[in-house]
Amino acid sequence: MMIKLISAIIVFMFLVTSCKKDDVTPPATQYLQVDVIPTYTNGGAMKMNLDSVYTTPEGYQVKFTDVKFYTSTLKNESINLLQSSLFDYRETGGIMLRTSGDYTKFANLQGFIGVDSVLNHSDPSAFPNESPLNISNAGPMHWGWNPGYIFMNIEGKVDTIPDGINNLNHSFSFHIGTDLYRRDFSFTNLNWLKISDSERKLNLKLDLWKFLHNPISSIDLKSEFLTHTASGQQPLTEKVISNFQQSLQPY
Amino acid sequence: MKYALYIFILLGVFLACRKDKVGYKATPYILDIPSHFPDMIIPSDNPMTAEGVELGRFLFYEKKLSGDNSMNCATCHMPQNSFSDPNQYSTGIDGIQGNRQSMALINMGWENFFFWDGGKTTLEKQILEPVINPIEMHESWKNAVKKLDQDMAYRNMFFRAFGEGGIDSTKAAKAIAQFIRTLISGQSKFDVMYKYENSMPLTAAEQSIFQTIDVEEWAGYDIFKSLDGADCFHCHNGPLMRVKKFSNNGLLPNAFNDLGRAHVTNNPEDNYKFKVPTLRNIALTAPYMHDGRFANLDEVIEHYSSGIHMSSTIDPLIEFGSQGGVQLDAQEKYLLKKFLLTLTDNNFVNNPKFKDPH
């Protein structure tokens, strides 16, 4: 009788312990952050600060007051990373995007500089509140009517009269938008830096020296200081977006 | 054993009859947000309730908040002027004038900065200021609360709004903020033009309004957003008719040498920059600019056309500043003004929910 009882207890304990579910720790969320480091030096090694005065090769004094741009449809082939991001150097510093994702899947990254055509013509109030495309977040980066978003916005002041008087009294303003001027990018062999076990970061460089002083298509701020992608501004618009596209590269 | 049964039954009856504690729960308030507007982000510590909004309306028009019981919020934010002040400078209870024009209270629930220099970052914080400002209502919150507390109707309204007894400045500010968040303007002719241009469906009522928009108003809108025209859209854009920024729009410094945003940031790069206001109901909110220097829309248009004063912090988007402005001719000025008048929302200024309840 005693033996039967002990056997039953042993069998029971075995069944109970064998059925116990192991504690499963869910994998920690992995975050990816992409930073953009604007630079303005020949060679592009020194960080550019807004409102700081620099000197162009022509001898002009120049300062940048705003650098903003959208990217959209960020992915690696068929693996999506993010619908859109807004880089706003003054408001958010160097952060272009931060999202959850597995860096091993994004050794390469493709997307648009600008906003995908469908998104570009959607109701800007209808995007989720946290979306960079929501009109509350887009602010002046949306034109307010159907042409949609400003894809790229660089503004500043320049003194084009080398008279020694540093009054920076001449504004420049490049606002590029409309579907025709959306450009794509494709970065390969990306180096995601480990920030912590759950966070990786990718640095991009925005070489504003190369943007203005591209050896093939330089922008002379004395005469080429304004485009809003309007009719009659196509040559400068094309030059600006092309130079911008070439200036944005992995660091 | 028999006694135990009686005790048990008695206990059962007692427990069954015990009244549960009843917590008062205010009624959620659903904002009437136009379909083409973004969501309004409501602070989690001040949810909108019908009782809170109603209390806020009473407080907005309550003169007990001023030192001599002569002023309320509406003294400088008059409903018929789209909650602005037709005077260049508002005058406080001691007869002292300020040096800035009272801002119109329109669609404030979408703002992140308050006052012309953005010195406050929430509506609740902003509301606390005019009461204690010696050149405005010149009253301590302690006294104001004491006066309110002597009124049983207010004690009841505060209880209903916040589910607990007691009146304080934080609750008062929260209630007024709730009321101000209901001051939504989105039913002007411009709204129909905006929706049409962005391919958004129009309601039957909007279709009717659409039919009344004349060619001059459309032409004025074209000038408004044309780079070769008035070039206004860089700062006055989207359904809220403004962008979130501080801008030096080429005004000559005034006698007060008001530095604007730089007062808050202490950054010389912000000298003479002021908050970009909405253009909604612009025809009702004269005089214009941070110091009310322009008495009418014609003077404003003339400023941007030929009166721009260049300085080191002028907004780069004042692109024709070096020429003095955008150089509109008489016809363009006329059409631009025609468009600006489409921003008037009569439903907003005549809304009975916004009127004095006293």
pLDDT tens for each residue of A187-245? 999 999 999 999 999 999 999 999 999 999 999 999 999 999 988 899 999 999 999 99
Residue spans in chain B of domains classed CATH 1.10.760.10: 50-184+348-354, 189-342
Which secondary-structure segment (H or E) carries A62? strand A61-76
Cβ <8 Å between B316 and A121: no
How many Å apart are CA B155 and CA B153, to the nearest integer?
5
What is B50-184+348-354's CATH number, 3.50.50.60, 1.10.760.10, 3.40.50.150, 3.40.50.2000? 1.10.760.10
DSSP assignment, residue A72?
A: E
pLDDT in the model for residue A23: 59
Cβ density class A112-127: b for 16+ within 10 Å, e for less: bbbbbeebbbbebbeb
Look up the CATH superfamily of B189-342: Cytochrome c-like domain (1.10.760.10)
Identify which of A135, A167, A173 has the shortest CB distance to residue B316. Answer: A173
Q: Which residues of B touch A121 (CB under 8 A)?
A: 199
Let me know: does B254 contact A165? Beta carbons within 8 Å: no
Residue B43 sits at the chain A interface (C-beta within 8 Å): no
Quick one: how far is CA A46 from the chain centroid?
19
What tens digit of pLDDT does each residue of A62-90 get? 999 999 999 999 999 999 999 999 999 99
- ipTM for this prediction: 0.80
Identify which of B36, B238, B310 has the shortest CB distance to residue A169. Answer: B310
Least confident of A54-68, A107-121, B134-148: A54-68
Residue (of B5, B2, B54, B1) closest to B26 by Cα position:
B54
Q: How many CB pairs (< 8 A) connect A and B?
A: 79
User: Model's pTM, two decimal places?
Assistant: 0.86
Cβ of B112: how many Cβ atoms within 10 Å?
Answer: 12
Termini Cα distance of chain A: 78
The amino acid occupying position A201 is K
pLDDT band at A57 (very low <50, low <70, confident <90, very high): confident
Let me know: does A167 contact A63? Beta carbons within 8 Å: no
The amino acid occupying position B297 is L
What residue has token string 């934080």? B170
State the maximum Cα–Cα separation within chain B, in Å, rounded to a whole number: 105
Cβ <8 Å between A146 and B245: no
* pLDDT in 10s for each residue of chain B, 358 residues: 556 666 666 665 555 555 555 567 899 999 999 999 999 999 999 999 999 999 999 999 999 999 999 999 999 999 999 999 999 999 999 999 999 999 999 999 999 999 999 999 999 999 999 999 999 999 999 999 999 999 999 999 999 999 999 999 999 999 999 999 999 999 999 999 999 999 999 999 999 999 999 999 999 999 999 888 999 998 999 999 999 999 999 999 999 999 999 999 999 999 999 999 999 999 999 999 999 999 999 999 999 999 999 988 999 888 888 889 999 999 999 999 999 999 999 999 999 999 999 9
pLDDT in the model for residue B204: 97
Residue B269 sits at the chain A interface (C-beta within 8 Å): yes
Residue B41 sits at the chain A interface (C-beta within 8 Å): yes
- Of all residues in chain B, the one with the smallest CA distance to A134 is B38
Minimal Cα–Cα distance from B234 to chain A, Å? 7
Residue A156 has pLDDT above 90, yes or no: yes
pLDDT in the model for residue A40: 94
Chain A interface mutation, best of B41, B312, B314, B320, highest count of A Cβ atoms under 10 Å: B312
Let me know: does B163 contact B83? Beta carbons within 8 Å: no
